[in-house]
Chains A and B, each alone.
Chain A
Amino acid sequence: NAGVTQTPKFQVLKTGQSMTLQCAQDMNHNSMYWYRQDPGMGLRLIYYSASEGTTDKGEVPNGYNVSRLNKREFSLRLESAAPSQTSVYFCASMRWGNTGELFFGEGSRLTVL
Chain B
Amino acid sequence: AQTVTQSQPEMSVQEAETVTLSCTYDTSESNYYLFWYKQPPSRQMILVIRQEAYKQQNATENRFSVNFQKAAKSFSLKISDSQLGDTAMYFCAFDSNYQLIWGAGTKLIIKP
Contacts and interface: CB of A to CB of B under 8 A. Distances in A.
A104 B50 contact: no
B75 interface: no
Contacts of B43: 88, 106-107
Contact of B47 (A40, A48, A102, A107): A102
Contacts of A90: 45
Contact of A50 (B4, B44, B95, B98): B98
A99 interface: yes
A101 B50 contact: yes
Interface residues of B, number: 22
Main SS of the interface on chain B? Answer: strand
Given A31-B98, A50-B98, A99 B33 contact: yes
Contact of B98 (A41, A42, A99, A105): A99
A45 B91 contact: no
Q: How large is the interface on A (under 10, 10 to 19, 20 to 34, 35 or more residues)?
A: 20 to 34
Interface of B: 4, 9, 33, 35, 37, 42-47, 50, 91, 93, 95, 98-100, 102-105
Given A41-B104, A100-B93, A102-B37, 18 more contacts: A40-B9, A42-B4, A42-B104, A42-B105, A43-B45, A43-B91, A43-B102, A44-B102, A45-B100, A58-B99, A88-B43, A94-B98, A99-B33, A99-B95, A100-B33, A100-B35, A101-B35, A106-B44
